[in-house]
Amino acid sequence: MINFSDFEKKINVFFKDKNLLRQAFIHRSYINENPSAGLSHNERLEFLGDAVLELVVTDFLYKKYPGYAEGELTSLRSALVNAIIISEVASEVGMNDYLLLSKGESKDIGKARQYILANTFEALIGAIYLDQGYDSADIFIGKILLPHTEEIVSKKLWRDSKSLVQEKAQEFVNVTPSYKVLHEAGPDHDKHFTVGIYFGLALIAEGKGKSKQEAEQSAAMYALKTKNWLD
């Protein structure tokens, strides 16, 4: 079994309940492949951590940007907690090395891994909240994620990605982007969508999300990065 002590040192959070920390890294696929291990996957922790993350980020942005209107704050929050940013942050602290995945999932290091990392990051926040309380979760998020705020504001990454990619596509290639659902999975209460963004017939990028709208925004952001259209 993976030893998480080095990871605890890296993030400077030392768990009272080590099983809670381990659970944060257990993907559903691992349980499916190892049903006799007696372990639980991280989806409940992810559900909790998502709410804690949103509150911490909302509180931070509300205080830091008193001149921003509600819509601007909402867009900025969405940019800060989207899967692209969160998976990058998770990679920076080495979470990839501790994931408990099925053999099949462990071979996929593309976009699917990004979403697994983002979900695991949220599960870790849920685990910190349960083990240490809200203040510790707040400190962890403040140290690991919130420093990215300045980059997001300076590069205007908080702008609506769909609007921005439409503006750039019309300016540079004279097309209006279109979106198509490529895949959807999960039960009705927990759907996950994969959406493609197209310039004409050409598939430019894909994005995932818990709603079609979220997946479209993610695809638009990937398209902006692919085309190097971010200011």
**Domain range spanning residue 201?**
161-226
Q: Are 206 and 193 in contact (CB under 8 A)?
A: no
Assess whether 101 and 208 both reside in one domain.
no
Asked if residue 169 and residue 144 are part of one domain, the reply reads no
Considering the domain boundaries, does residue 212 fall inside one? yes
pTM of the model: 0.74
Q: Which of 6, 97, 105, 122 is catalytic?
A: 122
> What does the pLDDT read at residue 155?
66
Q: Supply 204's token pair.
A: 């430019």
Q: What is the tally of structural domains in the chain?
A: 2
Same domain, 116 and 21: yes
Domain boundary residue, one of 105, 129, 154 = 154
Give residues with Cβ within 8 angstroms of 22, minimum separation 6. Answer: 1, 2, 4, 39, 100
pLDDT band at 156 (very low <50, low <70, confident <90, very high): low
Q: Strand runs (DSSP E) across 37-123, as ranges?
A: none
pLDDT of residue 205: 92
Which residue, chain included where needed, has tokens 């400190």? 139
Residue that finishes a domain, picked among 109, 130, 154: 154
Q: In this model, does residue 109 exceed pLDDT 70?
A: no
**Choice among 8, 17, 46, 50 that is catalytic:** 50
- Catalytic, 231? Answer no
Please give the structure tokens belonging to residue 151.
Answer: 């980059």
Q: What is the DSSP letter of 207?
A: E
The least confident of 2-16, 26-40, 52-66 is 26-40
Angle between helix axes 83-92 and 212-226 (nearest 10 degrees) is 70
pLDDT at position 49: 96
Q: Which range is least confidently modeled, 57-61, 99-103, 137-141, 227-231? A: 227-231
Give the mean model confidence (pLDDT) for residues 120-142: 97
Is 231 a domain residue?
no
Distances (CA, A) of 46 to 28, 30, 122: 12, 16, 5
> Tell me, what CATH number does 118's domain have?
1.10.1520.10
Statement to judge: residues 131 and 185 lie in one domain:
no
In a domain, 79, yes or no: yes
Q: So what's the pLDDT on residue 83?
A: 79
Cα gap 220→58, rounded to integer Å: 23
137 is written with which tokens?
Answer: 């979760």
Instruction: Point out the domain boundary residue: 102, 129, 154.
Output: 154
Are residues 84 and 173 located together in one domain of the fold? no
Tell whether 115 and 50 lie within a shared domain.
Answer: yes
Q: Give a yes or no: residue 24 inside a domain.
A: yes
CA distance 164 to 7: 38
Tens digits of residue pLDDT in 47-73 = 999 999 999 999 999 999 999 988 788
pLDDT tens digits along 174-227: 999 999 999 998 777 777 889 999 999 999 999 888 788 878 888 888 898 889
Catalytic annotation present for 122: yes
